[in-house]
Structure formats: C-alpha cells, structure tokens
Structure 1
C-alpha cells in the first residue's frame, strides 16, 4: 500500500508528538511513523522529566521558557494536566566557575525568566549540602518536572483529533526523494510526502543514513538511580553539583539521582551499568553526605538513551542540501524541556518557510559547517 500525506514525522516521542500536533493544527495531513509498538516508550518515558530555564545560551533559555509556559497551562488546551510541578532547579556553582555562571545569570535575567543568585547559606535552606568549594548557587523557582509520557500522548491525541494518523511498528527502512516528494519505505508499505521531519531521538542519525546522508546524532546510554524511602526526599529540588555533574531530586518519598558517564561510548548498549553506581555515589556523597543513609532500589532504577550531538545541543530546521527534510533531533537530554516550543517553531518552519516565534538559527545544522557550535555551559 502507498499512503500520501503533507508531512511525515519519524518518531512518536514527545518532540515528534508536539510537531505532529502543531502541523495538524495548521491544517496539514500528517502521519507519524513510530518504530516501537507504542508511542513515547523510549527516551520520553525514560527521561528524568526535568524542565528548566537555567541555560547559558539565549536560544536554549527561550525554547525552555516557552515550553514551561505551555506546560503550565496545558490542561486548559488539552484537557489533561502536564504534571508540571515547579520544584525548582538549584545549581551549585564551584569556585573558579563564577564568571561563566554570572554571564549565564545575566542572560537569563535579560530574557526575563525567573532566576536568582543565592549565597551558599541561602541555598542550604532549599537543599542540604556540604558548601565546601561552592561559590554561590543559582535558583530557578519555575523550573521543575512534568509527566513527559502523558504530555506526548496528549499531543498525539490532539493531533489525531485534527486528522493526523499514527502508525506504530512502522520503522523507516529506506527513504528517497522522488520528484517533489519523499518516499519512505516501511514494513507497513510506502508513505509519500513533500516534507519529512526527523524526530527519531537516539535513532535520528540512523534514520538520516537510511535516507542517504549523515546527521551527527549518536545514542549514548545514561543511568538514573533511585533510593528507597528517606525523609530528605520531601521537597528536595533538582540540585546539580556543577563541579562533578552529580544531580538529585525528590520523587515522592525517594531520591532520584544520576551523573553522566563521560567515558560511556556511543552506541546502542543496553541494560543498567551497575559499575557506574560507585563513581556516581562517590561524587554525590562528597556533596550530599546524608546520602550515606540511602538504600538503593534497584528495581526502580532505569537506563535510557541521550541523543547526542557534537556540541550537546539539538539540530533544528531544514537540512541544507536535502530538500524537504527537517531536523528535530539531537537534544542531548533536553528534549522534554524544549518539546513544546520546538513543536510550534518547526510547524512555522514547514508551513511558513521559517521559524519566527523563536529564532532557531543558532541550532541549525549549518553551525557545524561554519564552525560556530553552540557554547552551552549548563549541560548536565
């Protein structure tokens, strides 16, 4: 069978779902092709669910703040809550890194987002930590968490309500440009459309290769650990020890924590890396000694993939030299917090020819060709 549409979305995670909804809202006939048996089961479901405005680059601040605004009022539009909880993000800035974080703070304040500079003593009122070596903290009271799985499904339901179609167990096997349209071959038949949006997450690089070109997006495995019940979890904001990259937050009566392994090789490696637990805890205990009382809940811990680019920032917009191909990939762990705004911006890109609600030029593929990668400092 051959199916014809105005746009094909590859991937039904939170980003693909948001783009699908906004394109359908603009009147396009949209199909979402998902390789898995259910939507939003990979990085979206396995995310640590954080949303924050505390970035150093203006484009990331704008995308994240616009997304938080949408998640705040989500129920008014979609009939279900996004699960948004402003538990806050607290960055513990080490001595020696003050200048970079002062500049980031100035950028955030210039853009009008809620963020504060706190002395270590003030920050300790929000989260108990050893202040040794901490110069100051930055606090985002509107930062927090959402339910990304619920949000993705709400976008998909709304998209389908506007005529979009979802095809699961439908991986892209091959794709090629035929005249004015792309032809995408799948086990469920072929799909044609003038526009393809690559929102395949960790698989975005492979999807591009199957379409005949290279996109610098690689999968990198990440671990999220969970403690058993402990009193310190109550009201604990997402707190990042910038010196080590260790982070934690409260999740009900438990503490969720993790730290990216800089030595983790790219690739589709599966399963928990329990060997990374000891280095993670070593970094965490130095800053949060009370974690010594925590018991680990192995069954509640999990792993998932980041879709990583060379500069750990997404690739958005039209692919140069590849007609009708739009990138929405490589978020490097920031997809949940930017999905809502990216959905709007990329719908503008497709329908109007160029995103205009938010200037996405710094995140276009061309930055790699020009040697102007995004120098984002607030990477966790």
Structure 2
C-alpha cells in the first residue's frame, strides 16, 4: 500500500531530506519541493555540530535514535569530523548534572567523560579554566557539513526513485479528494500526503493549508576566528552552556588556521522574516564575541575575527521539535521541523517521527517520539523577553 502513497515533502533542508529518506526507504513514493537549492536555508548556515553531551534525559533519548542514522550515512559518504565535544560546567550543580549525563549516556552506549579543570587544560592547552568547576567531554562527537548532508540524502533519495525539484516554490495548496493539489512554479503536483518541512518558512506554508503553526524564526550569529599560527592540535567543540546557564559561547575547529564560533544569545526578541532579515553579523556582536573569546581563550596567539554571518533557528515554545499533524482531523498534513539550535543533529529524529506519522498514523518505530507531536498545548506562540 505504501508503494502507492505519494508524499510531497516541502523543504530541502535537513528535516525535509531526512524525512524524504525515511519515507522512500520504507516504500513511499516521494517528491521533494525546495524553493531554492538543497540545504540553502537555515540548514546551510548551521555550524553543523552533532553531539550527545546533554543533561536532559529526553534530549539523550532523541540522540539514541539520531546517532545511528549519522553512522549509517557516514558509511555512505557523509564526512563526520569526530573532533570531540566539551561542555563547560561553572558550578557544583552543573557538575552534578554532568555526572548524571555521563551515566545516562553510558546506558545508551555513548562515550563521555567528566573532566576536572586540569583535564580540560590537557585537552585544550589554550583554554582558560577560570570560573569553571569542570566539564564533560564526548570523544566521538563532532561536526558535519549540513550542505553535504542534504545533498547526500538527495542522492540517496534519487537512487531509490524519488524526485527532487529544486528552485520549485509552492504558490498555492488546495484539498483534492483525500489528497492535495499544489500549484508550484514548475507546474501542479497532486499527492496523497504533504509534509511541511520548510524550516523558518514553515508557518507561511501552513497558512496555505489554513493552519496556524507557531514556529518562531530566531536570529543567531556566527563567525570565523582566523589564526596566524596553525594549532598543533585539533580543538574540540567547546560549549559554555548547561541547562540555560553560561555565556552561550561555543567554538570549534574548522581547520588548523581557523575556528568557527557561535553565540547562543538571541539577537532580537521579535521573530524574523526569513525572506527579509539581516544575514550578516552585526558589529556589536563581533565586539561581544571578542570579549567572550578573550575570557576563554586569552592566550590564543595571532587570533582575529574573520567573516561573520547570521542564520535562523526555527524555535518552538518548549524548545523541542515538531513531528506530526497539527490537526488530528487532517492526518495527511504533517509538520516536521522546529529543531531550533539543535536542528541538524535532531534532523534524523524528526525524519523518523514524521515518516511514522505518514505511514502509520502515529509513532511505531521509535517509542518516546510521541512527545514531538505538535499538540495544541505545544503549538503555541513563543514569547521572548527583551535582553
């Protein structure tokens, strides 16, 4: 039966392509519609970190399902830079949380080690541990190129008979019988099921179907750190944030003469228009980042800020992704997205859950992902206070 089911996935970012991969691997007929090129939206502006150093049991559960997919795709050509991931702990309460995290990760088969300040300096000689109580390090974590992820999944989808239409924008959607008719810039398409995986554009797509989707496009900035003197070691990903506490500074190795840094500080309390937002880094952000880097990497020689850019985090009210129908009375219209700052590393989970909803009307292959359904309690506005 699923072989006859035609599913259109709107959006060629990480969430859309993982959903398309899951669906076509399980027998559905799949067409992906992407308004630009694969991976050209928020996914392509991500720093691409994939890690398991979380203190929330649910977040570790999500990675139980996500990490095996990354390993599968790595075997099929995805380049995964296993540089490691160090999360910094500032207080004894943070240290208690990372000890619990290490136990939870071990139960899932993930490697993690709680570290003292002295251990962290051995790992990263340029790191200042002033004000830190310790940290937790995952040696198997690292980063991928989100653009390569999207294009690789595109190749795998095509190899199984799927269609991918790039530079194909959806203009209008109407119900037709039990399915849908989509008017696009490349002509009409009829299908049985639609998956809205349009990222920051997902609320606009939902409006075409008469639905209200509360995904909040939140602007964040990143930039490169150029090094005159190449590092003699591979610097892991470093994150100064535990349970919402810390500066939000993170940085990671890109190559011996370059690091990539990001600030988990909200640029504005207002939602951004994904078709019209400032995609460059502001001078005030560069100054703020320079201050944070001087605090945490004060002895890094010959370092200077390079190019900067901004991207959008598709945020939900509770910080967890959406995967499922907004309206239970319309089970053939599935939302897949809202991964926020963890969108790349949670994209396999979004794909698994969305495919279950399409093919089975609920979660059947990954117990626990029922919590990602965009119920009325979850699908509500995100309210930001001014910083």
TM range (shorter): 0.7 to 0.9
Deviation (angstroms), 1:103 = 4.0
Supply the distance in 2 between the matched residues of 1:325 and 1:233 (Cα, whole angstroms). Answer: 51
SS at match of 2:123: coil
How many angstroms apart in 2 are the aligned matches of 1:369 and 1:314?
10
**1:370, distance to aligned residue in structure 2 (A):** 9.7
Shift in Å, 1:233 = 7.4
1:310 aligned onto 2:312: no
Structure 1 residues 164, 370: CA separation in 2 closer, same or farther (over 3 Å shift)? closer
* Residues 11 and 32 in structure 2, CA contact (< 8 A), matched pair in contact too: yes
The residue number in structure 1 matching 2:24 is: 24
Q: Report the CA distance shift for 1:357/1:367 in structure 2 as closer, same or farther (over 3 A).
A: farther
Aligned-residue offset at 1:83: 0.8
Show CA shifts across 1:205-262 (max 9, x none). Answer: 2211222111111222222111223434741000012220101111112111121232
Q: Which runs of 5+ in 2 are unaligned?
A: 383-387
2:81 is paired with a residue whose SS is coil
Residue 385 of structure 2 corresponds to which residue in structure 1? none
Q: Which residue of 1 aligns with 2:55?
A: 56
| Cα distance change on mapping 1:11 and 1:233 into 2, 3 Å | farther
* Alpha-carbon distance in 2 for matches of 1:184, 1:306: 27
- C-alpha distance in 1 between matches for 2:378 and 2:263: 31
Find the counterpart in structure 1 of residue 371 from structure 2: 362
CA deviation vs aligned residue, 1:37-77 (integer Å, no higher than 9, x gap)? x211122222101101122333432333433333234254x
How much does 1:100 deviate? Answer: 4.1
Task: Give the TM-score normalised by the residue count of structure 1.
Answer: 0.88
Task: Give secondary structure in 2 for the equivalent of 1:366.
Answer: coil
Q: Summarize the alignment of residues 1-150 of structure 1 with structure 2, pairs less than 5 Å apart.
A: 6-36=6-36, 38-76=37-75, 78=76, 81-95=77-91, 97-98=93-94, 99-127=96-124, 128-150=126-148
User: Is the Cα–Cα contact under 8 Å of residues 18 and 156 in structure 1 kept in the other structure?
Assistant: no
Q: CA deviation at 1:292?
A: 7.0
Q: Distance in 1 between matches of 2:335 and 2:98?
A: 30
Q: Would the alpha carbon gap of residues 233 and 270 (structure 1) be closer, same or farther in structure 2, given more than 3 Å must change?
A: farther
Structure-2 change in CA distance of 1:5 and 1:356 (3 Å): closer
**Kept after mapping to 2: 8 A contact 1:51/1:64:** no
Describe the shift of the 1:108–1:365 C-alpha distance in structure 2 as closer, same or farther (beyond 3 A).
same
CA contact (8 A) 1:22 1:159 kept: no
SS of the aligned residue for 2:293 comes to helix
Instruction: Pick closer, same or farther for the CA change 1:56–1:179 going to 2, 3 Å.
Output: farther
Give yes or no for contact 2:87–2:136 (8 Å, CA) kept in 1.
yes
Q: Report matched runs for 1:161-240 at 5 Å.
A: 161-229=159-227, 230-232=229-231, 234-240=233-239
Tell me whether 1:262 sits opposite 2:274 in the alignment: no
Structure 1 pair 325–285 and aligned structure 2 pair: CA distance change class (3 A): same
Provide Cα deviations, 1:87-116, integer angstroms capped at 9, x if missing partner.
Answer: 111011111542444444443333332212
CA distance in 1, matches of 2:278, 2:232: 29
Q: Is the 8 A contact 2:31 2:165 kept in 1?
A: yes
What SS does the aligned partner of 1:125 have?
helix
Aligned to 2:133, what secondary structure does the other structure show? Answer: strand
How far the C-alpha of 1:5 sits from its partner, in A, is: 6.4
Deviation at 1:283, TM superposition (A): 2.0
Within the alignment, does 1:349 sit opposite 2:362 as a pair? no
The equivalent of 2:253 in structure 1 is 250
Give yes or no for contact 1:61–1:108 (8 Å, CA) kept in 2. yes
> Aligned-pair distance for 1:123?
1.5
CA RMSD of aligned residues (A): 2.4
Displacement, 1:136? Answer: 1.7
Q: Quick check: 1:250–1:256 contact (8 Å CA) kept in 2?
A: yes
